[in-house]
Chains A and B, each alone.
Chain A
């Protein structure tokens, strides 16, 4: 039962002298919705195109199901792809667009019609079957592009930033539709996006890519709670994690002491491999701060900082405060509070955070040690 499984072994791709994919190992289980996420230009599309067969790797191998498809023609890999630009055939009607692959494969007309009708039913495209793509809205074109994939009944669906040409409202709606489609079809899907919110909401598993390498693979919440390095910590979560420079004071079996902003933090860590005096980065998510005078007074599992309010963004449902504080690598610290809170710019604010919610990274950017206790972090 390996149908729909995708495996990449040491996949590499260079364009001329430029190495775009620098060795990717990956296994995608059948039925998973895996999202490749990363900044623009990191090689997400290239990696997807390698899976599709539109590009051939310069090293490594690719398996779909039980077959080695490294050099197999795209149409014989059991994949279907939705392009960012939809890539519909402008001179064909919706029905012809969706049935084109089957027509090329030489299926009889009535069978094609039946399959197209069924896919159109799923995507609510039935009334539009005779229209040309130019007479459709962006969202409808998107659905036709997806319909073209469904009709081919592929083992693996590939999506390359399918929502980036839609406006914000439609994007949210289509995101839900894709999630629903995945639940309904149960097929393996690989979805490329640069938008970490899309990644978090859609994925069963996220692959974070950066400069042609995999930074981390895991379930969305896993990446959020336990980023393996500074890059993932900064990329997943919005607003992004705050980073502060610190120095290691000492390390014990179950904790690491870090000097930061005049205070010493005893962060719970198992078997951390750090030396006293080493430079480290402490990361705290904006939503993990607690605000108010004496928030965590007397709690030795927490730490507090004094700061000055630099800027306030009130979104109604939540409020973002930008705080100034010495010894910040970013210059400002962003704190997220739920609800609409009136804050005065220029006034002082005391914020606290639980030590178990502080992330710690060494000078190379890797997460230090096992976090103290997962239960504590989750709290």
Chain B
């Protein structure tokens, strides 16, 4: 009895030590990974000379100078313009991506069509295609259309389910869902689009939210495409504005750049935390069921 009691106490103690080590390591690694982020946020509130002059994370004399000046930017537009510009193409891009990807995925997952295997393979192959291969032909095409220096080249392609990865993701998700519900809806009198809207879309909502989130974050961070297609500074999105702030003058005001980077992070963070529940569910259930 006593022996068992001791053994049990030993086991409990070992368990606690184990947990301590485990969480210690996790927290340590987590801090290392997040350190640059903390540093960036902290540096936004430092005067410029302090950023490289001191190793302290915490600002010695905190100031809003970087944020205020950064917001004004060195250009004729304030940072608000650039944020707004970003949303000018990101919102249509997200909407078009979701609509087109879901439509195409529904077609692949549920309808019989000649050569379906081949089309699907082709679509998956486009995922593997390096983006840079298409840059020049696309540029020439959009130039012919007279779309340079507009947001159209940034989001119109998304209306045609060009993001094969998203289509693939939804197809996998749909494959894990038995079609009985949709058949019941057909008997209840739905046509294919009504089935999609009333039954399929609510069921695959986690996948849809995941797509929207991914597309939102990737687009906000996208640097290359806006750089290629936009030439007027007044149309620049956040990513380009940040770059501009770095190279307008020789002596970069790093505190301003970092303050703007911090602000640029906020939309992604806010959207992510709002949708976190669905986002995580979407990724896991999509992969487990698929």
Give the 10 A-B residue pairs with the shortest CB-CB distance, closest first. A101-B188, A75-B189, A87-B180, A91-B202, A87-B184, A104-B189, A74-B187, A83-B180, A87-B181, A85-B180
Contact check, A100 vs B183: say whether CB atoms are below 8 A apart: no
Q: With A85-B180, A87-B181, A104-B194 known to touch, is A79 a contact of B187 (CB < 8 Å)?
A: yes
Q: With A90-B203, A91-B202 known to touch, is A101 a contact of B189 (CB < 8 Å)?
A: yes
Task: Kindly provide the distance from the CB of B265 to the nearest chain A CB, expressed in whole angstroms.
Answer: 33
Contact check, B203 vs A91: say whether CB atoms are below 8 A apart: yes
Q: Which of B186, B198, B203 contacts A74 (CB 8 A)?
A: B186
Task: Kindly provide the distance from the CB of A172 to the nearest chain B CB, expressed in whole angstroms.
Answer: 25
Q: B169-196, CB under 8 A of A: which get 1 and which 0?
A: 0000000001011011111111000100
User: In the complex the two chains form, what is the Cα distance from A101 to B183 in whole Å?
Assistant: 12
Instruction: Tell me whether A62 is interfacial, beta carbon within 8 Å.
Output: no
Instruction: Tell me whether B199 is interfacial, beta carbon within 8 Å.
Output: yes
Contact check, A81 vs B190: say whether CB atoms are below 8 A apart: no
Q: Which of A75, A85, A91 contacts B188 (CB 8 A)?
A: A75
User: In the complex the two chains form, what is the Cα distance from A73 to B185 in whole Å?
Assistant: 12
User: In the complex the two chains form, what is the Cα distance from A220 to B187 in whole Å?
Assistant: 30
Task: Kindly provide the distance from the CB of A55 to the nearest chain B CB, expressed in whole angstroms.
Answer: 10
User: In the complex the two chains form, what is the Cα distance from A75 to B188 in whole Å?
Assistant: 6
Instruction: Tell me whether A214 is interfacial, beta carbon within 8 Å.
Output: no
Q: Tell me the A residues contacting B by CB distance below 8 Å.
A: 52-54, 73-75, 79-81, 83-85, 87-91, 100-101, 104-105, 148, 152
| Chain A binding surface SS class | loop
Contact check, A89 vs B187: say whether CB atoms are below 8 A apart: no
User: In the complex the two chains form, what is the Cα distance from A74 to B199 in whole Å?
Assistant: 17
Q: Which of B178, B184, B198, B203 contacts A81 (CB 8 A)?
A: B184
Q: With A100-B198, A104-B194 known to touch, is A88 a contact of B189 (CB < 8 Å)?
A: no
**A54 and chain B: residue at smallest CB distance:** B183
* Chain A residues positioned under 8 Å from B185 (CB to CB): 89, 100
Contact check, A54 vs B189: say whether CB atoms are below 8 A apart: no
Contact check, A85 vs B187: say whether CB atoms are below 8 A apart: no
User: In the complex the two chains form, what is the Cα distance from A358 to B93 in whole Å?
Assistant: 77
Q: What are 30 A-to-B residue pairs whose CB atoms are below 8 Å?
A: A54-B183, A54-B186, A73-B186, A75-B186, A75-B187, A75-B190, A79-B187, A81-B184, A83-B180, A83-B183, A85-B180, A87-B178, A87-B180, A87-B183, A87-B184, A88-B181, A89-B181, A89-B184, A89-B199, A90-B203, A91-B202, A91-B203, A100-B185, A101-B188, A101-B189, A104-B188, A104-B189, A104-B190, A105-B189, A148-B188
User: In the complex the two chains form, what is the Cα distance from A105 to B188 in whole Å?
Assistant: 8
User: In the complex the two chains form, what is the Cα distance from A80 to B186 in whole Å?
Assistant: 10
Contact check, A81 vs B187: say whether CB atoms are below 8 A apart: yes
User: In the complex the two chains form, what is the Cα distance from A264 to B193 in whole Å?
Assistant: 70
* Chain A residues positioned under 8 Å from B183 (CB to CB): 54, 81, 83, 87
User: In the complex the two chains form, what is the Cα distance from A90 to B199 in whole Å?
Assistant: 9
Task: Kindly provide the distance from the CB of A154 to the nearest chain B CB, expressed in whole angstroms.
Answer: 9
* Chain A residues positioned under 8 Å from B178 (CB to CB): 85, 87
Task: Kindly provide the distance from the CB of B59 to the nearest chain A CB, expressed in whole angstroms.
Answer: 49
Task: Kindly provide the distance from the CB of A163 to the nearest chain B CB, expressed in whole angstroms.
Answer: 16
User: In the complex the two chains form, what is the Cα distance from A244 to B184 in whole Å?
Assistant: 47
* Chain A residues positioned under 8 Å from B198 (CB to CB): 89, 100, 104
User: In the complex the two chains form, what is the Cα distance from A348 to B281 in whole Å?
Assistant: 66
Task: Kindly provide the distance from the CB of A38 to the nearest chain B CB, expressed in whole angstroms.
Answer: 21
